[in-house]
Amino acid sequence: MQEKTITKKTPFEQEVYEGLTAFPKYLSSKYFYDAIGDSLFQDIMAMPEYYLTDCEFAILQKHKSAITKAFSEHNAPFSLFELGAGDGKKTKILLKHFTENQIEFDYRPIDISQNALDQLQRSIQHELPKVVVNTIQGTYFDTLKDIAEEHSKKKVILFLGSNIGNLLHPQAIDFLRQLKAVIHEDDLIFMGFDQKKNPQTVLNAYNDDSGITEAFNKNVLTRINKELDGNFDLDNYLHWEVYDPESGTAKSYLVAKQAQEVYIKKLELNITLDAWETIHTEISQKYDDKVVGWLAKEAGLKIHAQFSDDRAYYKNYIFKKE
């Protein structure tokens, strides 16, 4: 009998295949993040042009009392879930304030990286030993079940960093609907949304001269080379950023500087790029109150409160079920 090995493609393999055989070509920004990508993103957050992180930090600092009041209304103890908790640098502002004010809560950070969760748990144990931490490892999607299963306690779900900006509006609505489906009437969703502003300021945040964002963007090609045995020549691509102030969408591309052939061995895939052909890699959506209100409404949520920095570059909204 003839043996046949059927190897199922991983989501990464599948999406790379689909995106590079499509016209126009695209790759998903979720594949920027391996150990190298995580570290490049840390570098991005430290760049002067990348205002988002500093703004959200300032908002949490400035409004921590009001945020605490909103979370602990009627003194009900709550579970604080955080999607994509990372290093928890911003969240610790709130955790510290809650502890100092004897707020009853427990913290349930969710992240795809067990390593990030272990580090986070250790650092909280060290800096804020009174905080009860229960980590949950998985993708947003798998862990929604864990959130849904909590019935006995009030829930607050954090989603910081304007990570929602990587989603097109229909996907964002779908995601908000999924969150709505796992909360009850008094539960809250607390989310960061980068705001529309001077288009030059937005463009600069994704177009630094130091080449960090370029390296971040190209990391998806590096991963294809390493993990799928591809032969992209990174020097043959430009990092190109555009921002449309009407739609509020910043888009990243890799642009081929000359015609090229690429072979991805693990996919048995040969692709060709014409000179100046593009691979679209990321959107970073910017918002205003009207758009956020519309997304919430479409998902069956309503804006309960909002907090902004002094320049109104960035906002954190609290949503409740409509």
Distance between CA 5 and CA 219 in Å, rounded?
31
Q: Which of residues 215-234 bind ligand AVJ (CB under 6 A)?
A: 216
CB 238 within 8 A of CB 264: no
Could you tell me the two tokens for 108?
Answer: 């349930």
Q: Which of 231, 227, 223, 250 is nearest to 239 (CA)?
A: 250
Tell me: does residue 163 bind ligand AVJ (CB under 6 A): yes
Under rule CB under 6 A, how many of the chain's residues touch ligand AVJ? 12
Q: Among 19, 161, 230, 248, which residue interacts with ligand AVJ (rule: CB under 6 A)? A: 161
The interface with ligand AVJ within residues 264-303 (CB under 6 A) comprises: 282, 284
Residue number, 133 or 254, with CB nearest to ligand AVJ: 254
- Residue 166 binds ligand AVJ (CB under 6 A): yes
Q: How far is the CB of 313 from ligand AVJ (least distance, A)?
A: 12
* Shortest Cβ 55–ligand AVJ spacing (Å): 12
- Minimal CA–CA distance to 309: which of 162, 139, 127, 155? 162
Q: Which is it for strands 278-285 and 269-273: parallel, antiparallel or unpaired?
A: unpaired
Two tokens, residue 292 = 């956020």
Strand spans (E) along the chain: 25-26, 78-83, 105-111, 136-137, 154-159, 188-194, 237-244, 249-256, 260-264, 269-273, 278-285, 301-308, 314-321
Q: Which is nearer to ligand AVJ, 109 or 155 (CB)?
A: 109
Q: Which stretch binds ligand AVJ (CB under 6 A): 66-74, 94-102, 140-148, 162-170?
A: 162-170
Q: Work out the angle at residue 116's Cα, subtended by the Cα atoms of residues 114 and 122, and round it to the nearest 5 degrees.
A: 100
Looking at the Cβ atoms of 79 and 213, the one nearer to ligand AVJ is 213
CB of 38 to ligand AVJ, least distance (A): 11
For ligand AVJ, which residue has the nearest CB?
284
Using CB under 6 A as the binding rule, whether residue 83 contacts ligand AVJ is answered as: no
Name the segment binding ligand AVJ (CB under 6 A); options: 69-77, 161-169, 172-180, 266-274: 161-169
∠ CA 82-119-12, nearest 5°, is 70
Q: Classify residue 281 by its DSSP letter.
A: E
Nearer to ligand AVJ, 88 or 161 (CB): 161
Is residue 165 at the binding interface for ligand AVJ, with CB under 6 A as the rule? yes
Instruction: Say if residues 28 and 19 touch (Cβ distance below 8 Å).
Output: yes
Question: Which one of the spans 111-119, 155-163, 232-240, 292-300 is the region binding ligand AVJ (CB under 6 A)?
Answer: 155-163
Query: Does position 260 bind ligand AVJ by CB under 6 A?
Result: no
213 forms part of the interface with ligand AVJ (CB under 6 A): yes
Question: Which residues does residue 279 pair with via DSSP β-bridges, in sequence order?
Answer: 25, 254
Residue of 71, 81, 159, 206 interacting with ligand AVJ (CB under 6 A): 206
Cα separation, 230 vs 92, in Å, equals 41
Distance spanning both ends of the chain, measured CA to CA: 61
Supply the Cα-derived Rg of the chain in whole angstroms: 21
What track of x and - describes contact with ligand AVJ for positions 38 through 77 (by CB under 6 A)? ------x-------x-------------------------
Given 72, 91, 121, 162, the residue binding ligand AVJ (CB under 6 A): 162
Q: Which residues bind ligand AVJ (CB under 6 A)?
A: 44, 52, 161-163, 165-166, 206, 213, 216, 282, 284
